[in-house]
Structure 1
Amino acid sequence: MPEIKNDKKRRPLKNLPPERFQPPKFWFVWLSIVMVVVVMLFFQRTATQNVARLKIQAVVDYADGVGPVKVKEGVIRPDPSGGRDWVAITGELTGEIPAGPEKDAGTTKLFRAEGRLTDANLERLQKSEKFSERQPSTWMNGLSQIIPFILLIALVYFLFIRQLRNAGRGAMSFGKSRAKLLTRDRDKITFADVAGCDEAKEEVSEVVEFLKDPKKFTRMGGKIPKGILMVGPPGTGKTLLAKAVAGEAEVPFFSISGSDFVEMFVGVGASRVRDMFEQGRKNAPCLIFIDEIDAVGRQRGAGLGGGNDEREQTLNSLLVEMDGFDTTEGVIIIAATNRPDVLDSALLRPGRFDRQIHVDLPDIVGREQILRVHARKISLSDDVDLGVIARGTPGLSGADLANLLNEGALLAARRNKKRVEMIDIDDARDKVLFGRERRRVMDDAEKKLVAWHEAGHAIIQAVLDDGTVPVHKVTIIPRGQSLGSTTYIPTKDILTRPKKKLLDQVCMAMGGRIAEKLVTGDLSNGAYGDIKHATKIARAMVCDYGMSDLGPIALGQDQDTVFLGRDITRSQHVSEATAQRIDDAVSEIITGQYARGEKIITEKREALDKVAQALIEHETIEGKHVMEILKHGEIKSPVINAPAPARVAGKPAENKPADRPATDGFGGSTAPAPNPA
């Protein structure tokens, strides 16, 4: 894979949206409150200060001391609107205004008089030395009258009109794209943060080089793929890899889910698709990532019930838009799904999604690399070997491995440790794969029955194993839905399974039932999970793998749901005679391996008893202890187990987890690996 170097001198981004000033939240609320207070104070002052309307002659008399009221001070303002010698006199009085037609209200001390002022009256007012003359200030008077109305109009605007305008914008933006823009300065992820998918990184590295130097490809006549479809199981890092492409290329990254296009109203999704591509063109070069594209790209008109108008119109718009732009514009589409079989064929043709990149579950080397990436933020002890953890977690995705380390860190914190030790990771793995320990109160008879059951699985697996899938741990402590489990960890990634290994799995699954019958002489329902697992393997050998006398013929039927498939009806693939032969072949495989396992346990009866007694005594033993019993007849190495919580018969355990109710099965459910029995 070509090395992608982080060059410090990056070309500047073009057409990035400028940062807009964001006003403080609820600023219009505070402004409205201030306006309301100002208006209320103005009207309160006007209402409380009642002004008495007097005649000019009465004011002159009061100024000369005639009457019980005296003038404290006053102002004479010529009123231009009243013509020549027309004035307005305002001021304040001392004393009570006598009752009369000139008195307007209350005992106010403020007065106002308007009228024609003669020269004689003006001389009398000037002699009192309590009046002053001022020129009219029309703009101040007008402003004092207009300000309250301006404040009131502004209040109405901010409280009502602005809200209605914003509501209108929300309605108009209903068809806008909901894609989130992540720039290079925010949540930057590079290829160094992605591990376990080297082949996928090598393919998407071409996109990075194209976004950095488009002419390198165009001058050779080549065209970069318009769309890249990432396919793989959940948790394998498809979204993370898409973000890493944008981080390495340092271009804007638009992220949206396929479900964001589909709405109740027909045409909204198509509008959002057009708006998304328009935003992409404005911010080119950029990446547009559509997660879970099967939500909008599902095959049209398939399955029971026909199609969906809104989803199909959205898909049609997406197909047209992908045909309507060229990669020279610098816009590249990356989509992710874990169901490529349900996508419309028009979406997968060349010219739209030209390339499919499979992001599969990591192998043992990839798992170790993923663990090292996630272990950067965790304080690990020196005894933690990530290589051993990677070997013991086949079938786990990157998300599962991250969860494994996180559970180990939480478990170490609950145990008041300063570092995460290997035993914490081992216990976290059992918790993630099989569930948390549930210390149930079992009487001696049930405890012995579970011990014999698990000992039967362990003995057969230890005898049949050729060193590739050794027994890892045997326990009679309930986990998840099982009352006990036998786990085995392969020493390498198993990609193919020969017929001999499949038969060994069927034989090992029968070990618990064989041990129960041999020791107690009776049968229980504890082996129902083992029987289902063995039957599934045997039927697959006959119908799918061609490992029977029926020959290499695919006899299995299509089991896809009619809501997702292409055909609504089901056709009979095999005749009744062939179906009978299939049942006979499956029965022959199971009965044959049952007899094989019965022979092994009968020969190793002494070892079976010792393994069961060790389980009754210690509750959990390791695979090496089973091998020591088979070779030496006893356990040589010490058995080290975590102390169990104190239990009192009839009372629940402390910190009992809220797991699913236990079933009547002894064996654990089948997991990718390590596999319980």
Structure 2
Amino acid sequence: MKFVALQKALNAAAEQAKGGRPSVFFLDEVDSFYNRDQSTNGYVIGMVNGLLTLIDALSATEGVVLVAATNDPERVDPAVVRAGRFDRHIRVGRPIRSGITAMLSAAVAGVIPGPDLDRVSAQLVGLSGAEVAALLRDARTSARKAGRDLALKDLQAAADRAQPQLGDALMRRVAVHEAAHVVAGHAIGLPAATLARISPRGGEVVRPHLNAMTARDIRGMIAAVLAGREAEDILFGDVTSGAGTGSASDLAQATSLGIRAECAFGFGPDLCWISPDTPITLLPATVRDRVEDRLRAGQKEARKIIVQHRGAVERIADALLEHRELDGAALAGLLDGMEVLADSEAQPVGGHDA
């Protein structure tokens, strides 16, 4: 009955869009329909089939623009997002610093000076647009409770609650960590980084993915992932727990690369395929040992690169501390002239996106 009711509601909305042309039909959280390949449930399959029929009908209707959104694209059925249904796929990431400044400026309407807004924006780098909007609501609520107009102190207090500032020493460590990822990736020949940013929550380096990988590519990627940890040890004498915090951490990514090399890509001595999603504790001891060997080799290469290019790491770290984020052009300028020594074990990698 739920399926019938939902399908009826979708069809009614589709008819409204057709009748009101020109119109936009927006389907939010399209991942809630799941992926038919991940389920044998007839209800799920019927839901997705009904959705596909509706999408095809709307796509064939002139004057109707079809838009969908999801926070989990992996759960969306491939047939839903193929060309002819949704021709353009646009990834909307977290806002850059100038975007955060624009959000704050629009909200305070000139009440707070630009330099103050820019300073607060630097603190908020790394937050999502929704988090920035929630922060603004929090600031307005505080001002309203105090019986006055929104002021800088309300905005700053809300910013401190949403993303407390780190001390200078910790922020420098974060900057060095991310700068090392940039430098190592450049030395190895990975696709050029398009963005590097730091925030009190940590940092990230964004670069295009490789379409296909060789065994040498895997080694280079592991080295680039582990470079942040090695830079901390070289520049500060120890490492923090940040490289191993969570399933998306540096150590988790490096381990995943090693497991895929051994279990899924056939880069080890065994050709039998093992799901790379298998917990490492369930893998044969010999496979675990080979994964560890790959991590150690990547660690050794990362350390060599950071020692050779320490100056570049510190230069990019200084720029990150000043600006909080650097785009591809800024990173390329900072890397310009960085000499990759001929005896480096790092090798160029190929097969990456344009």
TM-score, structure 1 as length reference = 0.32
Name the amino acid aligned to 1:188: K
1:630 partnered with 2:335: yes
Match in the other structure for 2:30? none
Name the amino acid aligned to 1:456: A
Name the amino acid aligned to 2:250: D
Distance 1:602 1:339, change over 3 A: closer
Matches within 5 A, 1:46-195: 178=5, 180=8, 182=11, 185-188=15-18
* Secondary structure of residue in 2 paired with 1:440: coil
TM-score, structure 2 as length reference = 0.56
Distance 1:523 1:412, change over 3 A: closer
**Structure 1 CA distance for aligned equivalents of residues 331 and 8 of structure 2:** 56
**Structure 2 CA distance for aligned equivalents of residues 433 and 541 of structure 1:** 37
Distance 1:485 1:175, change over 3 A: closer
* Secondary structure of residue in 1 paired with 2:16: coil
1:475 partnered with 2:193: no
Name the amino acid aligned to 1:359: V
- How big is the shift at 1:462? 1.9
Query: Over residues 247-302 of structure 1, what are the superposed CA-to-partner deviations in whole Å (9 max), with x where a residue is unaligned?
Result: 5789xxxxxxxxxxxxxxxxxxxxxxxxxxxxxxxxxxxxxxxxxxxxxxxxxxxx
* Secondary structure of residue in 2 paired with 1:484: strand
Query: Over residues 46-71 of structure 1, what are the superposed CA-to-partner deviations in whole Å (9 max), with x where a residue is unaligned?
Result: xxxxxxxxxxxxxxxxxxxxxxxxxx
Match in the other structure for 2:318? 613
Distance 1:559 1:510, change over 3 A: closer
Matches within 5 A, 1:194-593: 231=36, 241-247=52-58, 358-360=79-81, 369-370=87-88, 390=90, 393=91, 415-416=105-106, 439-466=163-190, 469-478=191-200, 482-489=201-208, 494-528=210-244, 529-548=249-268, 550-556=269-275, 579-593=284-298
Q: Which of the pair has more CA radius of gyration?
A: 1
Match in the other structure for 1:155? none
- How big is the shift at 1:411? 8.4
**Structure 1 CA distance for aligned equivalents of residues 251 and 76 of structure 2:** 30
Query: Over residues 6-41 of structure 1, what are the superposed CA-to-partner deviations in whole Å (9 max), with x where a residue is unaligned?
Result: xxxxxxxxxxxxxxxxxxxxxxxxxxxxxxxxxxxx
**Structure 2 CA distance for aligned equivalents of residues 626 and 545 of structure 1:** 32
CA contact (8 A) 1:232 1:359 kept: no
**Structure 1 CA distance for aligned equivalents of residues 101 and 319 of structure 2:** 27
CA contact (8 A) 1:458 1:471 kept: yes
CA root-mean-square deviation: 4.9
Query: Over residues 85-110 of structure 1, what are the superposed CA-to-partner deviations in whole Å (9 max), with x where a residue is unaligned?
Result: xxxxxxxxxxxxxxxxxxxxxxxxxx
**Structure 2 CA distance for aligned equivalents of residues 248 and 465 of structure 1:** 42
The percent of aligned pairs where both chains have the same amino acid is 19
**Structure 1 CA distance for aligned equivalents of residues 199 and 293 of structure 2:** 34
CA contact (8 A) 1:232 1:238 kept: no
- How big is the shift at 1:432? 5.3
- Bigger strand fraction: 1
Query: Over residues 406-429 of structure 1, what are the superposed CA-to-partner deviations in whole Å (9 max), with x where a residue is unaligned?
Result: xx9998565339xxxxxxxxxxx9
**Structure 2: which 5+ runs fail to align?**
26-33, 39-43, 62-74, 108-124, 133-158, 339-352
Name the amino acid aligned to 1:180: K
**Structure 1 CA distance for aligned equivalents of residues 18 and 235 of structure 2:** 62
Distance 1:444 1:530, change over 3 A: same
- Bigger helix fraction: 2
Name the amino acid aligned to 2:16: R
- How big is the shift at 1:449? 1.4
- How big is the shift at 1:618? 2.6
Name the amino acid aligned to 2:17: D
